[in-house]
């Protein structure tokens, strides 16, 4: 008599063996198909997120009629906001708002915002999607404000809403400055720049990205990380446009500064590029850019300072920020003087080439290089993508000239290399030349610099 249970067990065993054989034969195909299915699912999720995010569907804007003012929406956009009191008025009142993030605010407020905000005689708000009680208390004890918006608001949207929120809180200001939390602002230089403009005119000021690809992608606009500045007349036009309409009109905007620029353009305010606001969309050693580009104008801002190699190799980012902000005459920071100097070293005459960048470093070559060499920017940094093109910059390879002796600026005003040599600059008259005269004694090279002969 047949044992049914044994027959079923044998059939099950055969089926398992068949399945194992199929898996063994088609294992690679199954793995590929499974991977493809996972990727397809992830792609679908990402596409849905992009579609919903780009259309701002996570904000309850659709039910709101067009023409709605930000003030009517502020209660939904802001979870918490601290009050700023006892702000010292100035001739041109300037209000600041800093875009931050819950994962970065603790470090970046201490490293950047807190340092430059000490020189501000006006309201400074830190706009974030989250903050610890300790950091909030620190910011408010410094006399600044904290504005917390929901985490659901993408930074793309929050940068634009931050501008409207700043106007809502400080309607009496003449200028509205928007920056990222990893931006270093030279406040005295910024105020001097704004003093040359009339806030009663509709003005949208800033600097563009150095990378042509970024300009082609996002447009001719103020790169917001380095600072986007709106006059009170421009802000009034933006608000009159219908504050929230712009979020619906431009779902194609992928960056916050891009969205702001589109809305400003819709309000009939053109972009006015100004020198000195530097996006620093670079990677690696940016020393060549500092010497060749930042030296052309009075520095107003430096964005992405923490994303490039240390300007002073032996100093931390925090100490670097302090050194730059404490420079005695910030309007002359990074000025560059290049020239030939006749030296006598160890009793031997030497016709040398010297480059001095105020507050940064000095470089010495033991031969008379053609000064036309320095008309091109030494490309010391890395490209973020292949074939990158940089606007308005003529480049040369660092290997195009001999390796120089480099000494870095110290807090005492002397440039040192840490190995015994230092360069001390003396202001003087060189008869229209940037550099003249040099004497070497006891490891110190004294060079006369005629800064009046140096043009930006």
pLDDT in tens, 63-114: 567 777 888 888 888 999 998 876 666 667 999 999 999 999 999 999 999 9
Considering only residues 406 and 54, tell me which one the structure prediction assigns the higher pLDDT.
406
pLDDT tens column, 389-415: 777 788 999 988 999 989 999 988 899
Residue 8 has pLDDT above 60, yes or no: no
Considering only residues 154 and 262, tell me which one the structure prediction assigns the higher pLDDT.
262
Residues 257 and 108 in one domain: yes
Q: Is residue 9 part of a domain?
A: no
Q: Write out the two tokens for 339.
A: 């020239």
232-236, long-range: CB < 8 A, 24+ apart: 232/173, 232/174, 232/175, 232/176, 232/199, 232/200, 233/199, 233/200, 233/201, 233/202, 233/203, 234/202, 234/203, 234/204, 234/264, 234/267, 234/269, 235/163, 235/167, 235/176
Alpha carbons 128 and 150: distance in angstroms, whole number: 9
Q: Is residue 32 part of a domain?
A: no
pLDDT tens column, 238-268: 988 866 788 888 888 888 899 999 999 999 9
Per mean pLDDT, which range of 11-25, 178-192, 400-414 is the poorest? 11-25
Residues 112 and 228 in one domain: yes
Final residue belonging to a domain, choices 278, 295, 320? 278
Residues 142 and 230 in one domain: yes
DSSP string, 62-73: TTSPTT--HHHH
Residue 15: pLDDT band (50, 70, 90) is low
Q: Is residue 192 part of a domain?
A: yes
Q: In which element (H, E) is residue 49 found?
A: helix 27-54
Q: Is residue 13 part of a domain?
A: no
The number of angstroms, rounded, from the C-alpha of 259 to the middle of its chain's C-alpha atoms is 17
Q: Number of structural domains, the chain? A: 2
Residue 155: pLDDT band (50, 70, 90) is confident
Alpha carbons 273 and 258: distance in angstroms, whole number: 15
Span 279-301, average pLDDT: 93
Are 246 and 256 a contacting pair, CB within 8 Å?
no
Domain range enclosing 436: 335-367+402-453
Residues 237 and 125 in one domain: yes
Residue 352 has pLDDT above 50, yes or no: yes
Residue 218 has pLDDT above 70, yes or no: no
Res 297: pLDDT = 94
CA 422 → CA 351, 352, 427, distances in Å? 18, 15, 17
Count of CA atoms in the C-beta half-sphere (13 A) of 343: 26
Residue 270: pLDDT band (50, 70, 90) is very high
Residues 260 and 155 in one domain: yes
Q: Write out the two tokens for 120.
A: 């501000």
Partnered with residue 205 across adjacent β-strands are: 229, 272
Residue 52: pLDDT band (50, 70, 90) is very low
Q: Is residue 111 part of a domain?
A: yes
Alpha carbons 174 and 253: distance in angstroms, whole number: 28
Helix (H, G, I), strand (E, B) or coil at 385: coil
Residues 86 and 183 in one domain: yes
Per mean pLDDT, which range of 165-179, 267-281, 341-355 is the poorest? 341-355
Res 59: pLDDT = 47
Q: Is residue 448 part of a domain?
A: yes
Residues 268 and 339 in one domain: no
Other Cβ atoms less than 10 A from the Cβ of 115: the count is 18
Residues 273 and 343 in one domain: no
390 DSSP assignment: B
Res 343: pLDDT = 81
Span 27-53, average pLDDT: 55
Residues 104 and 245 in one domain: yes
Residue 24 has pLDDT above 80, yes or no: no
Final residue belonging to a domain, choices 278, 296, 323? 278
Per mean pLDDT, which range of 13-17, 212-216, 239-243 is the poorest? 13-17
Residues 78 and 151 in one domain: yes
277 DSSP assignment: E
Final residue belonging to a domain, choices 237, 262, 278? 278
Each residue of 431-440: b (16+ CB within 10 Å) or e?
Answer: eebbbbebeb
Considering only residues 440 and 27, tell me which one the structure prediction assigns the higher pLDDT.
440
Q: Is residue 106 part of a domain?
A: yes
Angle at which helices 70-77 and 155-169 pack, to 10 degrees? 120
Other Cβ atoms less than 10 A from the Cβ of 137: the count is 12
Residues 6+ apart with CB under 8 A from 221: 206, 208, 257, 258, 260, 261, 271
Each residue of 272-289: b (16+ CB within 10 Å) or e?
Answer: bebebbbbbbbeebbbbb
Alpha carbons 299 and 301: distance in angstroms, whole number: 6
Alpha carbons 278 and 308: distance in angstroms, whole number: 13
pLDDT tens column, 427-448: 999 999 999 887 877 888 889 9
CATH code of the domain in which 108 resides: 3.90.550.50
Residues 126 and 258 in one domain: yes
Residue 382: pLDDT band (50, 70, 90) is confident
Other Cβ atoms less than 10 A from the Cβ of 349: the count is 8
Q: What is the phi/psi pair of residue 109, to 5°?
A: -65, -45
Residue 273: pLDDT band (50, 70, 90) is very high
Other Cβ atoms less than 10 A from the Cβ of 216: the count is 11
DSSP string, 203-236: -EEE---SBHHHHHHH-SS--GGG-EEEEHHHHH
pLDDT tens column, 291-329: 999 999 999 999 999 889 999 998 999 999 999 999 989
110 DSSP assignment: I
Residue 53: pLDDT band (50, 70, 90) is very low
Residue 131: pLDDT band (50, 70, 90) is very high
Residue 342 has pLDDT above 80, yes or no: yes
Q: Is residue 22 part of a domain?
A: no
Q: In this prediction, what percent of the chain has a pLDDT beyond 70?
A: 82
Span 325-340, average pLDDT: 94
The number of angstroms, rounded, from the C-alpha of 42 to the middle of its chain's C-alpha atoms is 31
Res 57: pLDDT = 38
Residue 14 has pLDDT above 60, yes or no: no
Residues 212 and 356 in one domain: no
112 DSSP assignment: I
């Amino acid at each position: 008599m047949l044992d049914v249970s044994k027959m079923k067990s044998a059939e099950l065993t055969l089926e398992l063996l068949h399945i194992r054989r199929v898996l063994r034969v088609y294992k690679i195909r199954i793995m590929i198909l499974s991977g493809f299915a996972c990727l397809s699912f992830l792609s679908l999720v990402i596409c849905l997120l992009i579609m919903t995010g780009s259309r701002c569907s996570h904000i309850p804007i659709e039910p709101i009629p067009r023409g709605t003012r930000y003030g009517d929406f502020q209660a939904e956009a802001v979870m918490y906001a601290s009050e700023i009191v006892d702000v010292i008025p100035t001739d041109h009142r300037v209000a600041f708002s800093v875009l931050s993030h819950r994962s970065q605010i603790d470090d970046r407020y201490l490293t950047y915002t807190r340092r430059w905000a000490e020189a501000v005689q006006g309201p400074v708000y830190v706009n974030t999607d989250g903050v610890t009680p300790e950091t909030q208390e620190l910011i408010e004890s410094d006399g600044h404000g904290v504005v917390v918006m929901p985490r659901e608001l993408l930074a793309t949207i929050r940068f634009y809403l931050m501008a409207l929120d700043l106007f809502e809180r400080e309607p009496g200001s003449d200028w509205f400055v928007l920056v990222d939390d990893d931006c270093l602002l030279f406040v005295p230089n910024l105020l001097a720049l704004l003093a040359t403009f009339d806030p009663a005119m509709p003005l949208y000021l800033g600097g563009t990205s150095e990378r042509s690809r970024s300009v082609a992608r996002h447009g001719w606009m103020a790169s917001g990380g380095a600072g986007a500045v709106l006059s009170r007349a421009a802000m009034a036009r933006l608000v009159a446009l219908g504050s929230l309409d712009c979020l619906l009109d431009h779902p194609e905007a992928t960056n916050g500064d891009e969205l702001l620029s589109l809305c400003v353009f819709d309000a009939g305010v053109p972009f006015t590029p100004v020198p000195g606001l530097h996006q620093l969309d670079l990677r690696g050693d940016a020393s060549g850019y500092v010497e060749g580009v930042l030296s052309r104008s009075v520095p107003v801002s430096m964005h992405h300072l923490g994303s490039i190699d240390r300007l002073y190799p032996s100093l931390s980012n925090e100490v670097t920020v302090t050194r730059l902000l404490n420079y005695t005459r910030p309007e002359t920071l990074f000025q560059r003087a290049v020239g030939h100097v006749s030296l006598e070293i160890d009793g031997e005459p030497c016709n040398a080439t010297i480059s001095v960048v105020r507050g940064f470093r000095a470089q010495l070559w033991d031969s008379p290089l053609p000064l036309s060499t320095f008309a091109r920017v030494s490309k010391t940094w890395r490209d973020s993508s292949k074939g990158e093109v940089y606007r308005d910059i003529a480049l040369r390879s660092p290997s195009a000239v001999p390796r120089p002796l480099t000494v870095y600026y110290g807090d005492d005003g002397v440039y040192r290399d840490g190995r015994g040599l230092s360069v001390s600059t003396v202001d003087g008259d060189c008869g229209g030349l940037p550099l003249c005269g040099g004497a070497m004694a006891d490891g110190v090279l004294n060079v006369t610099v005629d800064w009046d002969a140096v043009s930006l």
